[in-house]
Amino acid sequence: MKKILLIVAAVLVAAGLVALMVYKQQSGYTKVLTAKIARQDLATVVSGTGQIKPKTYVNLGATAMGRVTHLYVKEGDMVKKGQTVASIENVQQEANVAGQQAAIAAAKTDIASYVAAEKTAEANVEHAKADLEQKRLDWERAQGLYQAGIMAKQDFDAKKAAFDTDVASVAQAVAQLNQAKAQTDSARGHLATQLASLRSLQNALDLTMAVAPFDGIVTNEPVREGETVVEGIQNTEGSTFMTLADMSVVTAEVKVDETDIVNIQLGQPAEITVDALPGKVFKGHVTLVGDQALLRSTGIATSQSTTGTEEAKDFKVVVTLDAPTSELRPGLSTTAKITTAHKANVLSLPIQALTMHNPDDDKPKGQGDVKAASNPSASASNKSVPIQGVYVVDKDAKGKLRAKFVPVTTGITGATDIEVLSGLTDGQEIVTGPFKTLRALKDNALVKRDTAKPVTPSSGSSS
């Protein structure tokens, strides 16, 4: 029994010595997480939320007052350009058009009769001229006979009277022809007036029919058959038949934070996701960047706001989808991820490894306190400015791992990594965390890689 106790005591003493040695070896070391610098493709992405909108849409309003008699389409229907989509009562307008058409038909008949009378007058003129020519020949012969003493004075006077009568007949026939032409021209003028009136009445009739101005889809139909619509201001109740959207060109209208808008330019590529279509990604490109800030709380432009309250602002950005599908509907909630910068195969490091280091933090405590007390102004002017950089892990002359602060200049920022422009080389090991340790880490401090796996709570545990 004593031997067993002695063996147990010896084991415990040996274990204690080993633990003591391990503790002494680890004292002065800081456990850190590390990673290696590597090359990869980086892209800077700006996100914005909004909704799907057609590039072209129209609120088809009423252009005449009356009761809706027919709605030929319903919400969700596809329509073609020129298709009649709705109509209102138009008995009076149809009667006016029919009456005017009848008046025009009668006017055309009158013109035809005037043209016939004109032809008759032309024939009378020709007949009178032929008769005059005959009477002229008779009178010329009578003159010769009378001068020769062969014809009596009475007969000569009769020939002269007949010739003069036919001259007057020709003048009368010509006057009648001119009168007939004037009547025809007058009738044609009245016909032109009646045709103009018909166009006006036909337009009034056409205004009772709503026609699709382009191919599209019905996205809203606020009225029903039997209701009365009136001519009014756009979007007012009772003045809009329906909303038509041209879904051949679809856009995502999103709002982007004011801190990101400076990086967005026309033509930049984007990926659009729609909440109603999970798993689908649509490609697109930026086609409009708003130049007016919008208040986040109200959506009103800052130039229209009357309040002086400072608050977060957004800017409107429109992304046009390259290949929209029929599944998209106006108003669907969407998110656009716009790639504002992209570089391939660049040196990068994890964003969390980047820190700001002040060289004054590496000085032993108390150093310079006497100088600062004697000359405070000089101390303030000589105060170091924090430098951006990372801690590089490397072995010292004794083979121990140390964290050496290295200033770094950076470029574009990706989702989790940032581009390295100078200060580091491919394959170098750097400290990435933990965050609290990284903030308190000193230059040239002894470190040790923390290889322990993080503890995750059991899914079956209960509090």
CA distance 189 to 208: 30
pLDDT for the residue 145: 85
Topology (CATH) of 92-206: Helix Hairpins (1.10.287)
pLDDT for the residue 244: 92
Question: For residue 291, which of 277, 302, 306 has the smallest C-alpha distance?
Answer: 302
Residues in the chain with pLDDT values less than 50: 18-27, 370-372, 378, 455-463
Residue 361 DSSP code: G
Question: For residue 115, which of 180, 176, 179 has the smallest C-alpha distance?
Answer: 180
pLDDT for the residue 452: 67
What Rg value do the Cα atoms of the chain yield, rounded?
A: 50
Domain extents for the chain?
30-42+347-369+380-449, 46-56+248-343, 92-206
pLDDT for the residue 398: 84
pLDDT for the residue 26: 41
Please report where in the chains the tokens 């006497």 appear, as a residue. Answer: 370
Per the CB < 8 A criterion, the answer to whether 265 and 81 are in contact is: no
Task: For 37-94, list the strands marked E by DSSP.
Answer: 38-61, 66-71, 78-79, 84-88
Question: For residue 318, which of 13, 27, 54, 137 has the smallest C-alpha distance?
Answer: 54
For residue 434, say if its preceding peptide bond is cis, omega within 30 degrees of 0: yes
List Cβ neighbours of 438 (8 Å cut-off, separation of 6 or more): 32, 352, 353, 355, 391, 431, 432
CATH number of 46-56+248-343: 2.40.30.170
Please report where in the chains the tokens 């030929």 appear, as a residue. Answer: 72
pLDDT for the residue 265: 93
For residue 109, give both structure tokens.
Answer: 């008949």
Per the CB < 8 A criterion, the answer to whether 54 and 247 are in contact is: yes
Q: Which CATH architecture has domain 30-42+347-369+380-449?
A: Beta Barrel (2.40)
N-to-C CA span, the chain? 46
The full length of the chain comes to 463
pLDDT for the residue 364: 61
